[in-house]
Amino acid sequence: MTKTFTPGRPIWCAGCGDFAVQGILEKALDSSGILRHKFMLLTGIGCAGTIQNNVHCYGYHALHGRVLPTAVGAKLSNPELTIIAAGGDGDGYAIGAGHLIHSFKSNPSILYIVMNNSNYGLTKGQPSPTSPTGYRSNVEGDLDAILLGLSISSTTFLARGFSGHPEQLEKLMMAALEHTEAGKGLAFLEVLSPCVTYYDTHREWRFRVLDVNDDESYDPGDRAKAFQKVTEIIGEGKIPIGLIYKGEFPSLESLILSSDHTPAALQDIESPAIKEDYLKTMNAFLG
């Protein structure tokens, strides 16, 4: 029997930046014209990760920090689906940091949205990798995921938006979705999404954000200049937002899925050959 689940209502605190992210994601999904059963939204654990409960499409709530490898598995076993991965800065840049680096390196066609509030919101505001030095006695420096992405030669789409600038965020979301849809690789979109309860950066970020695309001479196709510009902006105490970099590198699925291979999700699980293989594998495990 086919059962359809109704999306839940957001459980975020009033004023949380994540509301804007969900609204804009839904708008982008609607205007893309792709049917909802062709989308899958996977998330990690955290306030940000609960977005998966609220959106009408296939979904999966992965382990903390493990949303990217799970999303890559979903993409490779069903390349026809548009895969969106999402989570917080703790999920993506702390426990999940290794997976972020390897996803930048392997370039799967996935849209990855990180809702960065510079703290662990769900567990009551502990410092995250993007918290500034001094926040709740944090002794570490902060991480800039865009600079990290720029340092890896196979990245193809790096952008940062702000929940307080919804029009710009919508453009970036649409561009990121198109990049993924076209099979061009990982579209990485970090959204500055303030946590009004534990670390309210809304006003501060409104003053500090600087859209690189406001400068018409800025070329998102030039990695070295993008690195230089982002470093300069950070050095001036500002936060660079906008489409920072867009380049080309073969996507993971185009390199490892051959055209005559039937993806796992489309194989006939009743086929005797597959059943036999399955039993052989299980028996090997059972000894």
Residues that bind ligand SF4 (CB under 6 A): 12-13, 16, 18, 47, 117, 121-122, 195-198
Least distance from C-beta 147 to ligand TPP, angstroms? 19
Least distance from C-beta 115 to ligand SF4, angstroms? 8
User: 61 - beta bridge partners?
Assistant: 43
**Of 173, 164, 165, the residue nearest 27 (C-alpha):** 173
The residue from 25, 29, 42, 48 that contacts ligand TPP (CB under 6 A) is: 48
Least distance from C-beta 278 to ligand SF4, angstroms? 42
Secondary structure E strands in the chain: 39-43, 58-61, 82-88, 111-116, 157-162, 187-192, 209-211, 239-246
From the list Mg ion, ligand TPP, ligand SF4, none, partner contacted by residue 87 (C-beta under 5 to 8 A by kind): ligand TPP
Q: What letter represents residue 186's amino acid?
A: L
* C-beta of 89 vs 170, nearer to ligand SF4: 89
Pair 177, 148: CB distance under 8 Å: no
Asked if 12 is part of the footprint of ligand TPP (rule: CB under 6 A), the reply reads no
- The rounded distance, in Å, linking the Cα atoms of 205 and 12 is 20
Least distance from C-beta 129 to ligand TPP, angstroms? 9
* C-beta of 13 vs 174, nearer to ligand TPP: 13
* C-beta of 120 vs 157, nearer to ligand SF4: 120
What number of CA atoms fall less than 13 Å from residue 187's CA on the CB side? 23
* C-beta of 45 vs 176, nearer to ligand TPP: 45
Asked if 89 is part of the footprint of ligand TPP (rule: CB under 6 A), the reply reads yes
Longest dimension (CA), the chain: 65
